[in-house]
A and B are shown apart, each in its own frame.
Chain A
């Protein structure tokens, strides 16, 4: 900050020469750097409840990810037998007993909305649990750190290895680590493509060079991203790339549980001393066990911060130390800001799970879930859509009758051919004609044969006798009925005319 003369400038004796009390605005020492080099983090291994929980979550999520494409589900002949399959050329999404057509993409939209609201709910209750336990970035980073620890040793050994001069054994360790990482990354990219094609076939094709270029490119890109994001970038992704840490604060309130250092218990921190009077000092012995285990490289004792993914490993580390020095566990624990204030006010702490915010998120989530479930359970495998011709809206025939043209789409989601009968009502003397089946004559109720698993489109002409249409339009109801089962699908349309 330039001194604008608050301190008097002093004369130095020589005439007209003064010494100024000033600091250069852009002095090298005080100028903030434009770019900051990355400081490497070497997280130390922990043991404890949250570490075990994270292992289980990792096993579950990775297991689901790698195994799902290999599950089989019999759908009868002519249909894929893969339980979960995104068939892009066939425009189908198969999920066990559910088969989604492109027209039903709202299921996916609904699922995504539910996932979003679920994330809001979890965040408002237990903070960034998604970040700490289930985010792919966290899961794969954890896996990659596990490999690193296996090959290079724990924190101290890794720091030593980093500082050690180049040698054959250092190179061997690094190479082993990178090769294992690469294999995991390729496995990750490889598993992804199995969701989009028959897994066993694609598996063989991938290894024999028969697979599509798109498959190889996808595997390549995902191998690269898994390796670089999980192995090399790690905490940089969460801190600099991910928008979620910035957004999640909006879902949290003072009652949200989050990984918290209990400053009221811990301070004033002091190095451990035998036979200390714990009433005179805080429980924190400043051993920094919580710092060395942190994969984000932060000190949880500084309070809530953007980098914290709430993986809770510092809780495990601190609990371990507290056990050893004979102090109660939970110096670092899941706690809320409100509880901190209650403690200061001498009140009892409590856990408030049912708050307007959590109830609102849960209610919305449940409502959408129930709605989706209802739509899914009542979902018909026969559907019609009748699109009125835009031009001309109506045609007057030589005898004065009126004719409207429609594009008539029948969605047969069943895997068998069906014979259907169409009936239209709403005006007297309706005659239906399906273009291409003139041989049936102007039957009042034409028959259709629809191929299995197909959307078929017909051109339908509806004719009414002269004078039957009183206004310029009338409601018309189309009912499609399956001959064998009696199943129906209906559509309410319009019949247009010139008006009287």
Chain B
């Protein structure tokens, strides 16, 4: 309990608290201040009636007009979607090339594609489509299944090596080691040769032996010079872009066990306009052909 103290100058009692010698006068509040307090209390009762307010055992009081902030958001979203319907219809009607060359449609598709990518694709390909080991970087100019806008749209629609779409991209590299097609030493030689394709140096004698093995076993899909083939989904081996890694150990592992990356058929999950917007967006990232 603080001491009672009366200020000498004003003759008014203080609140009893002291801060560095400063005391607060305990003057009476103006009466209207109290009115405003009660007015606010009455106003708040209006809020209880109009808006959702009190928690009950199960649920809560709903308010007179059934207002909910979630409902407001739903309304806003519906409004925005109605507003976009015209452009979405144009996207549905137009070909990918038409969308890409029409500035307004392209801008719309890029925005829609960016958000659809963040929701559906970024989990594997990364938020900037930069990719991870086994999930291709979509910014660069190396494409396993083709980088034209139509090829990208096909890949998104049907996916890769999935069971849900019979038109999915299919290819099957043999597991040369596990299936006993090649000996360990042979695999080592092929790996040495594959490394020379991208300018990496190693055991030249092994690479020379590997060249023949490559021509017999790999060139059918990957090409004589390792240039790859979009048709077979065979990645180019003669550049610095590697889906799983370009070091010796990883290449040996890839040849021995094969790689069978998969991708869902987004055509089964997303509507046509969204797939088109995704294709435009991915194509725009920088590697589109």
**Which A residues are within 8 Å of any B CB, using their own CB?**
1, 32-38, 233, 236, 240, 389-392, 395-400, 403, 405, 433, 435-436, 439, 459, 461
Given A389-B128, A390-B128, A459-B284, also A397-B28 (CB < 8 A)? no
A395 touches B127 (CB 8 A): no
B30 touches A236 (CB 8 A): yes
**CA–CA, A37 and B32, complex, Å:** 8
**CA–CA, A461 and B287, complex, Å:** 10
Q: Which of B30, B100, B142 contacts A38 (CB 8 A)?
A: B30
What does the 1/0 interface line of B253-289 toward A look like (CB < 8 Å)? 0000000000000000000000000000000111100
**CA–CA, A33 and B27, complex, Å:** 8
Across-interface contacts of B13 in A (CB, < 8 A): 32
CB within 8 Å of A: which B115-137 residues: 126-130, 137
Across-interface contacts of B240 in A (CB, < 8 A): 396, 398, 400
Which secondary structure characterizes the binding site on chain B?
loop
Given A33-B28, A389-B128, A405-B286, also A399-B139 (CB < 8 A)? no
**CA–CA, A327 and B10, complex, Å:** 33
User: Could you jot down 29 A-B contacts, CB within 8 Å?
Assistant: A32-B26, A34-B28, A35-B30, A35-B34, A36-B28, A36-B30, A36-B31, A38-B30, A38-B32, A389-B128, A391-B128, A392-B126, A392-B128, A395-B140, A396-B140, A396-B240, A397-B287, A398-B141, A403-B286, A405-B139, A405-B285, A405-B286, A433-B286, A435-B286, A436-B100, A436-B103, A436-B106, A436-B284, A459-B110
**CA–CA, A391 and B287, complex, Å:** 15
B139 touches A403 (CB 8 A): yes
- Please provide the 8 A-B residue pairs with the shortest distance between their CB atoms, ordered closest to farther: A391-B128, A392-B130, A398-B239, A36-B28, A395-B139, A435-B284, A33-B28, A35-B31
In chain B, what residue has the closest Cβ to A463? B286
In chain A, what residue has the closest Cβ to B240? A400
B286 touches A461 (CB 8 A): yes
Given A392-B130, A395-B137, A398-B236, also A1-B32 (CB < 8 A)? no
Q: A1-B4, A236-B30 are in contact. List 12 more A-B contacts (CB 8 A).
A: A34-B28, A35-B31, A36-B27, A36-B31, A38-B30, A397-B241, A398-B239, A403-B139, A433-B286, A436-B100, A436-B284, A439-B101
A397 touches B140 (CB 8 A): yes
In chain A, what residue has the closest Cβ to B131? A392
Across-interface contacts of A396 in B (CB, < 8 A): 140, 240-241
**Which B residues are within 8 Å of any A CB, using their own CB?**
4, 12-13, 26-34, 100-101, 103, 106-107, 110, 126-130, 137, 139-142, 236, 239-241, 284-287
B142 touches A398 (CB 8 A): yes
**CA–CA, A254 and B127, complex, Å:** 64
**CA–CA, A240 and B34, complex, Å:** 13
Across-interface contacts of A389 in B (CB, < 8 A): 128
Across-interface contacts of A391 in B (CB, < 8 A): 126-128, 130
A236 touches B32 (CB 8 A): yes
Across-interface contacts of B110 in A (CB, < 8 A): 435, 459
Residue from A34, A240, A396 whose CB has the most chain B CB atoms within 10 Å:
A396
In chain B, what residue has the closest Cβ to A400? B240
**CA–CA, A193 and B93, complex, Å:** 45
**CA–CA, A233 and B30, complex, Å:** 11
**CA–CA, A346 and B103, complex, Å:** 84
In chain A, what residue has the closest Cβ to B285? A405
In chain B, what residue has the closest Cβ to A236? B30
Given A391-B126, A391-B128, A436-B284, also A397-B141 (CB < 8 A)? yes
**CA–CA, A428 and B12, complex, Å:** 81
Across-interface contacts of A240 in B (CB, < 8 A): 30, 33
Across-interface contacts of B30 in A (CB, < 8 A): 35-36, 38, 236, 240
- Quote the shortest CB–CB distance from B268 to chain A (angstroms): 28
B128 touches A38 (CB 8 A): no
**CA–CA, A396 and B141, complex, Å:** 9
Residue from B28, B106, B236 whose CB has the most chain A CB atoms within 10 Å:
B28
**CA–CA, A233 and B26, complex, Å:** 22
**CA–CA, A439 and B106, complex, Å:** 14
- Quote the shortest CB–CB distance from B99 to chain A (angstroms): 11
**CA–CA, A399 and B141, complex, Å:** 9
Across-interface contacts of A1 in B (CB, < 8 A): 4
In chain B, what residue has the closest Cβ to A466? B240
In chain B, what residue has the closest Cβ to A433? B286
Q: Which of A32, A398, A435, A461 contacts B28 (CB 8 A)?
A: A32
- Quote the shortest CB–CB distance from B98 to chain A (angstroms): 13
**CA–CA, A389 and B130, complex, Å:** 11
B31 touches A37 (CB 8 A): yes
Q: Which of A35, A392, A433, A436 contacts B139 (CB 8 A)?
A: A392
**CA–CA, A439 and B241, complex, Å:** 26
**CA–CA, A306 and B48, complex, Å:** 40
Across-interface contacts of B31 in A (CB, < 8 A): 35-38
Residue from A33, A403, A436 whose CB has the most chain B CB atoms within 10 Å:
A436
In chain A, what residue has the closest Cβ to B199? A400
**CA–CA, A401 and B237, complex, Å:** 17
- Quote the shortest CB–CB distance from A295 to chain B (angstroms): 17
**CA–CA, A403 and B13, complex, Å:** 75
A392 touches B28 (CB 8 A): no
Across-interface contacts of A236 in B (CB, < 8 A): 30, 32
Across-interface contacts of B103 in A (CB, < 8 A): 436
**CA–CA, A15 and B40, complex, Å:** 58
- Quote the shortest CB–CB distance from A306 to chain B (angstroms): 11
**CA–CA, A456 and B129, complex, Å:** 24
B284 touches A392 (CB 8 A): no
In chain A, what residue has the closest Cβ to B102? A436
**CA–CA, A484 and B96, complex, Å:** 35
In chain B, what residue has the closest Cβ to A1? B4
